[in-house]
Amino acid sequence: MKRREKAAWYFAVFIIGAFIITYYYSEKKAGELNANKAIGTGFITGMDMVFKGRGIFVKYVFEVKGDFVKDHTIIPIESDQLELLSKNLIGGQYPVIYNALDKSNSKILLFKEEFMKYGLDVPDSLHYIFHLLDSLTYKKN
């Protein structure tokens, strides 16, 4: 094998390994979140476009036993919807699921599917948000 071919092969192995480790880590965090879940109320504090329009970056804060925890998530909605979402979501209260043993492992619940994934009842008060989010264009993953 030539030096260039070896380098390309090592690079491919490295990339595949990185994907496997990332997948394993995210599945582990999701499992821990579900196993030790607690529910709180979060407030969306800001939104921004993800690099190259690959979704919308949502910042939120929630309280656990007097401590305020800041976190973020990315929602797979076209970034041209940022202004509309900002007007409708920033400042609103939304359920947050978090790991009772590790409050840095949290997720704000904005989609019906997320409630179902964690075995939670879907609150009637959020149907207008579900309708808004369902009406927007989703990014293809």
pLDDT at 28 over 60: yes
Q: Which CATH number fits domain 37-135: 2.40.50, 3.90.1200, 1.25.40, 2.30.30?
A: 2.40.50
**Mean pLDDT rounded to a whole number for the chain:** 86
Residue 106 banded pLDDT, cuts 50, 70, 90? very high
Residue 2 banded pLDDT, cuts 50, 70, 90? confident
Q: Across 3-12, 89-98, 117-126, which has the greatest mean pLDDT?
A: 89-98
pLDDT at 52 over 80: no
- Given this model, what pLDDT does residue 41 score? 93
pLDDT digits (tens, 9 = 90+) for 81-102: 889 899 999 999 999 999 999 8
User: In whole angstroms, what is the distance from residue 108 CA to residue 84 CA?
Assistant: 19
* Least confident piece of the model among 29-33, 73-77, 96-100: 29-33
Residue 139 banded pLDDT, cuts 50, 70, 90? low
Core vs surface per residue 57-71: b (16+ CB within 10 A) or e: bbbbbbeeeeeebeb
Core vs surface per residue 14-30: b (16+ CB within 10 A) or e: eeeeeeeeeeeeeeeee
